[in-house]
Amino acid sequence: ARAARRAASSLAYLVYTSGSSGAPKGVMIEQRGLSNHLASLISELGLSPKDVIAQTAPQSFVISVWQFLAGPMVGARVHVCGSAIVQDPMLLAREIEREGITVLEIVPSLLRLILERMDEAPIRRAIAKLRLLIST
């Protein structure tokens, strides 16, 4: 089988959002939009084959798209974190150390919990190993 040819305007994926109106609607993301988004993140974050990106967002959230796709584009590894791990600072700290995670994106509520526990050595060690910590 041959690879299908895709135009820059071809659909890459569809996201459902309520946006500012509160009414659910589908938003079509074109290939060029996805490519530009990933290229921008790779450049801005300086992603490289040395990175291990934590995939922390639920797959139903748009943030998961870059977490899944940007790493392989540069030869980096993506580590999928279970939902229980992403909700517990100590479990997350252990996962960061065990998997060698270098890029972590988390929600502000989890960052707050981590900061409240920075006096605990395992959390402090894990956070110190990160190259990037992104809160969105």
pLDDT mean across residues, the chain: 93
Q: How confident is the model at residue 25 (pLDDT cuts 50, 70, 90)?
A: confident
Q: Quick check: is 24 in a domain?
A: no
Residue 1 has pLDDT above 80, yes or no: no
Q: Quick check: is 16 in a domain?
A: no
- Structural domain boundaries enclosing 86: 45-135
Q: Quick check: is 29 in a domain?
A: no
Residue 3 has pLDDT above 80, yes or no: no
For the full predicted model, state whether its pTM sits above 0.95: no
Give the number of domains in the chain.
Answer: 1
Q: Quick check: is 123 in a domain?
A: yes
pLDDT of residue 94: 97
Q: What is the mean pLDDT of residues 26-35?
A: 92
Q: Quick check: is 83 in a domain?
A: yes
Question: What's the CATH number where 77 sits?
Answer: 3.40.50.980
Q: Quick check: is 91 in a domain?
A: yes
Q: Quick check: is 34 in a domain?
A: no
Listing DSSP states for the chain in one string gives: -PPPP--TTSEEEEEEE-TTTTS-EEEEEEHHHHHHHHHHHHHHHT--TT-EEEE-S-TTSTHHHHHHHHHHHHT-EEEEPPHHHHT-HHHHHHHHHHHT--EEEE-HHHHHHHHHTTTSHHHHHHHHH-SEEEE-
Q: How confident is the model at residue 55 (pLDDT cuts 50, 70, 90)?
A: very high
Q: What is the mean pLDDT of residues 93-107?
A: 97
Residue 100 has pLDDT above 90, yes or no: yes
Q: Quick check: is 31 in a domain?
A: no
